Structure 1
Amino acid sequence: MKFTMRFLAALALYMTALAILSPAHAAVGTTFASLYASSQGIRSFHGHVPSSYQQGIPMPLVVALHGCSRGSHHYEKRTGWSKLAEQQGFIVVYPAQSILANLNLCWNWSLSKNQHRGKGEPAIIAGITDYVRSHYTVDPNRIYVTGTSAGGVMANAMTVTYPDVYAASSIIAGCEYLCDPSTVKTPEESGEAALIEMNVRARAVPTILWQGTADTVVPPPTVDRIVGQWATIDGIDDIADATEYGQVPNGRNYVHQIYEDLAGNTLIERYLIDGAEHTYPGGCDCDPLVDPKGPNATGLSWEFFEEHPIP
């Protein structure tokens, strides 16, 4: 095992060196892939740079975190983030969990080291984000993070540990910071813990949330715990300022709620999707973990992101 880890570390450093030596415009209009290595670990990643990219002109970046059992390439296919990136003009990167870190390819959100800035997987994901920023002209005020299931939990953690980096987040079937499946701790306690972690960087990070009512993996009330967490951080109450009832054409009904600050700015949006299981809403009809009858989480998340750069 020690030999394997030394070999992987050496390979990662070699691959990273090659990527650094490559011209920054090499992947314009195409995909890129490499390994990231630091004292916190090694992870692979890949991404898409749209054909509209021009070096020197800042472009938004979306960091997309896959869930358990499926890898980053599968997540790219089923969510359509790369296709949307090409259409709308932003870069997207997909960090990949290592089977050496988790046999089910889950992000290890339950480990203490993965809940704090500068440590564990948050540090690795932030490092991959920095890698993309160092190779392409990224708008520092328009970097976003999204994830599903374990990736959604980690996306939440990323906005708490690095609120100065990620302008907004989209969380699909995730849970609150320091996720407590037993619900012993209140959402307010989660928010207070998040404020301590954010420290001097604390700010309201706009968040859009997605949850199915038939999810047997993540209990549907969990989405309310995330709302409570962010409401505590944002200094607002957890009562929606607006509620609308919608239906996807030939698809699912949903409840869409909006939570605003005193100035009327939207800080939290929540989609509760009737009958949806532990699936990605509105993706391709290509996988049982995707629900094409749900609202288009990818497109609606991007619309939310566009409205929420770092002030």
Structure 2
Amino acid sequence: MTTRRTTLSAIIIAVLTLAGVVPATPASAASLVEVTGFGDNPGRMRMHVYVPDTRPAKPAIVVAMHGCGGSGPGFYSGSEFASLADRHGFIVIYPSAQQEAGFGKCFDTWSDAAKRRGGGSDPVSIVSMVTHVRQRHGGDPDRVFATGSSSGGMMTNEMLALYPDVFKAGAAFMGVPFHCFANAADYPPGSSRCTGGGGLNRTPQEWGNLVRQAYPGYTGPRPKMQLWHGTADTLVPYSLLQEEVEQWTDVFGLSQTPTSTDTPRTGWNRSRYSNQVEAYSIQGAGHSLPSSGMAAAALEFFGIIGGGDPNPPTPGTCAVKATVNAWNNGLTANLAITNTGTAAINGWSLAFTLAGGQTITSGWNAAYSPSTGQVTARNAGHNATIPPGRSVDIGFQAVHTGNAAAPSSFTLNGTACSTG
């Protein structure tokens, strides 16, 4: 009887599929998956992909790239792109660089191969990842985007310069202009002409020519660019933000004078150059971007979030109560996150700031990254949804050097929470 029912079910599914009807399947929890054999891979890179359970027939694709010493899985855990993918139905590719460059493994933005379209190295590997996702998951070729932090922000500039026909927009956090590094010896650490001192200074036309020479003869549309930098960044000098602005405004033939300026959030000073380039100066921020809410701003620039997140927790719709139990040089902290709004929160990331000298050693009911400073806790599979009026409890154990204060400055999915 069991065999007969199984065969009958298979026949029914086949008939429905031929008729264009896809039968419902049980819901499953999306997870980060490593992909091997994804195509031409001269950079010998590793590829991880996050495919949300709910997505349109032709989902957008976002390539999200880590900083030096990081990894794809680390950027998945430490940024908000995956939780936003759950909310908005796009696919995220997380490449892992394999090139050693003094700061650990970094994306190759210095070699001759990496500066020529089709030249090889990491850019070719990343395009192979995009092609794989388009073929395997039906990704929309007209909605492919790049973003990244530090080394990943530098590679974002690379990908938009080399493959303007693949990427429609980019958001570079703490990056440098395309073709800033002369060679491997010029890459940090050391005496880099690009990032040493105040940073390399070229004219807008010189910067723009480098982009135009990367793909000679290309006359199609150029991807628009969003640029982010902290004013207190000393590792990748803040002055390089202006060099990036000069490069991309020249590529678009725009004036160096912004068409508008505003402050979308406290400390976020934005300059817009028509609708093709925008630059964010983050007041007082060091080499620590993206922080809470910036991923959503990038997705709005891409057009994945149309005119803002359609389902955000609005101000005042979350509350966090922190309880700390401390001893000698250790402590435990319990965080009760309450949805005080009227709509369910589906998928969440809680950003907060640890007191100085504290380092998380373990945690429960969430994934925590990084372990010091500004930390992001991402939901576990069993507590991803917070119904209105309900709470979830998470916590961690940490060591401290004398300051056992509770964490502060809580934001849930980019929105500030009340405390009590």
State TM-score, norm by structure 1: 0.78
- TM superposition shift of 1:111: 1.4
Percent identity over the alignment?
28
Verify the 8 A CA contact 1:72 1:94 in the aligned structure 2. yes
Runs of 4+ residues deviating >4 angstroms: 99-103
Q: Deviations over 1:252-298 (max 9, x none)?
A: x12111111xxxxx001111011000012324xxxxxxxxxxxx210
- TM superposition shift of 1:34: 1.6
Give SS of 2:78's match.
helix
Q: Which has the larger radius of gyration?
A: 2
Give SS of 2:238's match.
coil
Verify the 8 A CA contact 1:44 1:97 in the aligned structure 2. yes
Verify the 8 A CA contact 2:68 2:104 in the aligned structure 1. yes
The one-letter amino acid of 2:147's match is T
Greater relative CO (CA pairs within 8 A, separation 6+):
1
Larger % of strand: which? 2
Q: Deviations over 1:128-175 (max 9, x none)?
A: 111111101111100000011111111111011110000000000001
- TM superposition shift of 1:39: 6.1
Distance 1:137 1:60, change over 3 A: same
1:1-311 to structure 2, matched below 5 A, reads 29-35=30-36, 36=38, 38=40, 40-53=42-55, 57-98=57-98, 104-118=104-118, 119-179=120-180, 181=194, 183-202=200-219, 203-248=221-266, 253-260=267-274, 266-283=275-292, 296-306=293-303
The one-letter amino acid of 2:222's match is A
Q: Deviations over 1:36-59 (max 9, x none)?
A: 4536242111111111135xx211
Give SS of 2:262's match.
strand
State TM-score, norm by structure 2: 0.58
Verify the 8 A CA contact 2:143 2:168 in the aligned structure 1. yes
* Range with bigger deviation, 158-167 or 197-206: 197-206
- TM superposition shift of 1:246: 4.5
- TM superposition shift of 1:232: 1.1
* Range with bigger deviation, 300-309 or 204-213: 300-309
Larger % of helix: which? 1
Verify the 8 A CA contact 1:47 1:94 in the aligned structure 2. yes
Q: Deviations over 1:17-46 (max 9, x none)?
A: xxxxxxxx9x99443312345362421111
Verify the 8 A CA contact 1:37 1:43 in the aligned structure 2. no
Query: What is the alpha-carbon distance in structure 2 between the residues aligned to residue 76 and residue 303 of structure 1?
Result: 19
